[in-house]
Amino acid sequence: MKRKMVLLLTGMIVMASLYGCGGNGAGDSGSDTDSAEQTETEDDSEAGGGVTLTLYCNADDMAKPYMQKIISMWEEESGNKIDQQGLDTDNAETIALTKFTTGDIPDLYVHFGNSNLKNFNPEENFVDWTDAEWVSDIQDSVMPQAVYNDKIIGLPFWEASNSGCFYNKKIFDELEISQPKTQEEFDKACDTLLENGIQPIYLAAADSWPILYQFALDPVIEEHPEYVEQLNAGELTYAEIPEFTSMCEWFLSAAEKGYFGKNYASDTWDYCSEVLGTGEAAMMFCWDTWFDTDYDSESYDYVGEDFGIMPVFMGTCDEGTYEGGNVNLMMANKNGDHVEEAKDFINFMSEPDNYNEAFDGISTAAVFKGQTTNVNSSQYEENKESVDKLIRASSAQPKIVGYNQGEGGKALLQLMSGDISVEECIKLIDDDRIATLKSFEQE
């Protein structure tokens, strides 16, 4: 009797375990019709008749007010729900890629439309919007970022920020430093700040991506558009681009002079507000909308309006440069269980009334031609002439196959720390790019 009872209980545990292990993800849909139906029923009951779409997005990006606004507007109107799965900001792309590779593809996915998008097989996974009505409403300056292999693969729905070097106007005024117009003037301004005990630039190099070395490459690519084609064809290396060496040399020299302070190797993005707000550092490479959406104006001495924008000087362009907006794309899984609902959401986002409501009062340049409720940043309004004159489209990151902001930043940090030479640094960045390029081309 006791033995039978043990066997019965063991059998029940095994059954329960096997049932619990049963998948019901999109990748299993073919064989798991029952469980898929059950999931849908559960979704329906939760949503009060609608369905629940899954959305993967960088957690920080997901939290943006206009994203939350448009999602809640659609949920209210359609009766459907969006299960927002925020991915760890520092590893969002890696996590998403792992999920995609294992067949865990959400109904909606948000990604910066750069060259890394290739990893996500856009043609196989995402809805083609080339013939959508809203395509004609996208600003011309933004449109290239929505295109993959001549097809529109997502809706640009993001802040079109202006990136540059942000400086503390009050500190500059107190020290009688005028806004630099050349690389030499910029370096002199840094020297003056240093002489007065102020760290010139806050560089969150420990996170590697905030080194943002693509800013230095945009003017180079604008002047030599053939470089992109040659790099992507394996006919050119970074070592053969003189400006790339100049950039590395400038980073090394700036670190040696103390422009980035003493702790740049362990400085992280989390402390930007604190360091700028207390006046510990006077400048930072960033984008203007950050001061409206992320900068903590309430906790420190200096508020967002105390900062102005000026060109970035990184040793490659004497007059400096600004970078135009990098926009996120909202893409729909064309093989998912809820394709129509996902498409409906994106079409909803593209309606002028809806995006104007979502972006009402948001500091950004217009992404849509019909966008009227956004406001330009105070930094842009104050220095409009310089920005409009020197702004360049983001080109290094979206166009160079294998461009890796993180790995490149790591190599530059090693260079600045004195662990490797300029030549070794260039080789390290290039080896990583070439490895990716080769992995795409291997036959």
Partner 1 sequence: MNRKKIYPLYLAVIPAVVFTIFFIIPSTIGYYYAFTNWSAARTTDLKFVGLENILSVIQSSKVPVAFVNTLIYAGVKTVMVTILGFVFAYILNREIRSRTALRTVYFIPSVFSCLVVGLIFSAVFQTRHGTLNNILNMFGIANIQWLGSRGTAVFAICMAEVWRNVGYAIIITLAGMQSVSSDYIEAARLDGATEWQMFSRITLPLIMPTVNVNILFSLIYGLKMFDLIYVMTGGGPGNATESFGTLMMNEMSAGRYAQSVAVNLVFTVLLVLVSMLYQRFSSRWETVE
- Under the rule (CB under 8 A), what is the footprint of partner 1? 90-91, 93-94, 97-98, 101, 116, 118-121, 205-206, 208, 262-263, 265-267, 271, 274, 402, 404, 407, 410-411, 413-414, 417, 419, 424, 427-428, 431-432, 435-436, 438-440, 442-443
Find how far residue 173's CA is from the centre of its chain. 33
Residue partners of 399: CB distance under 8 A and separation at least 6: 115, 221, 228, 232
C-beta of 439: minimal distance to partner 1 in Å? Answer: 4
**Cα angle at 312 between 306 and 318, to 5 degrees?**
135
* Cβ atoms within 10 Å, residue 51: 21
- Give 33 or 102: the residue with its C-beta nearer to partner 1: 102
Per-residue tokens: 10:
């063991």
Distance, first Cα to last Cα, the chain: 65
C-beta of 207: minimal distance to partner 1 in Å? Answer: 8
C-beta of 259: minimal distance to partner 1 in Å? Answer: 17
**80 in Cβ contact with 53 (< 8 Å):** yes
- Give 294 or 431: the residue with its C-beta nearer to partner 1: 431
C-beta of 437: minimal distance to partner 1 in Å? Answer: 10
C-beta of 420: minimal distance to partner 1 in Å? Answer: 8
Distance, CA of 34 to CA of 24 (rounded, Å)? 9
Distance, CA of 424 to CA of 416 (rounded, Å)? 12
Query: Dihedral of CA 51/55/61/63: which sign?
Result: positive
- Give 93 or 187: the residue with its C-beta nearer to partner 1: 93
| Residue 197, burial from CB neighbour count under 10 angstroms (0-12, 13-18, 19+) | exposed
Residue partners of 304: CB distance under 8 A and separation at least 6: 291, 292, 295, 297, 378
C-beta of 94: minimal distance to partner 1 in Å? Answer: 4
- DSSP assignments along 120-168, one per residue: G-HHHHB---TT-GGGGGB-TTTGGGGEETTEE-SEE-S-B--EEEEEE
Find how far residue 59's CA is from the centre of its chain. 11
- Give 155 or 203: the residue with its C-beta nearer to partner 1: 203
- Give 98 or 196: the residue with its C-beta nearer to partner 1: 98
Place of tokens 């002028």: 352
Where on the phi/psi map is residue 31: left (φ > 0), alpha (ψ -120 to 50), or beta?
alpha
- Give 263 or 378: the residue with its C-beta nearer to partner 1: 263
- Give 147 or 175: the residue with its C-beta nearer to partner 1: 147
* Cβ atoms within 10 Å, residue 55: 20
C-beta of 81: minimal distance to partner 1 in Å? Answer: 29
Q: Of 281, 310, 325, 305, which Cα lies nearest the Cα of 377?
A: 305
C-beta of 435: minimal distance to partner 1 in Å? Answer: 6
C-beta of 105: minimal distance to partner 1 in Å? Answer: 13
C-beta of 201: minimal distance to partner 1 in Å? Answer: 16
C-beta of 265: minimal distance to partner 1 in Å? Answer: 4
- Give 1 or 21: the residue with its C-beta nearer to partner 1: 21
Residue partners of 36: CB distance under 8 A and separation at least 6: 24, 28, 29, 337
- Give 205 or 317: the residue with its C-beta nearer to partner 1: 205
- Give 92 or 365: the residue with its C-beta nearer to partner 1: 92
- Give 237 or 347: the residue with its C-beta nearer to partner 1: 237
